[in-house]
Amino acid sequence: MSATEIANLHFSAAIAEAEAAGMGHDSVCRSLLGLVVAKYLESRSVSDVQSELRFVADNCDPGTDFMFMRP
């Protein structure tokens, strides 16, 4: 099983559990993001984590190709 498959399995379970409890998925996503950042900070510098988050934010539009992609 790949890292993506493992993460997707647990993410889907967290979303399902939140929805079953009457919570929206936004609060679970925000909480998971906070946990990811905290885990990153255990082994990476603040500037490195900021760079990682900035890259994700800058490239989160599914309708836009990454800058480094070619047609």
Yes or no: say if 39 and 21 are a contact pair by the CB < 8 Å rule: no
Flag whether the pTM goes above 0.85.
Answer: no
Given this model, what pLDDT does residue 14 score? 97
DSSP state for residue 63 in the 8-state scheme: T
As given in the structure block, the two tokens for residue 58 are 């800058």
3 state SS of 37? helix
Integer Cα distance of 51 and 23 in angstroms: 31
Yes or no: say if 40 and 49 are a contact pair by the CB < 8 Å rule: yes
Given this model, what pLDDT does residue 64 score? 77
Q: What's the pLDDT tens digit per position in 29-41?
A: 999 999 999 999 9
Alpha carbon dihedral 18, 21, 26, 32, in 10-degree steps, equals -40
Q: Where are the domains of the chain?
A: 3-58
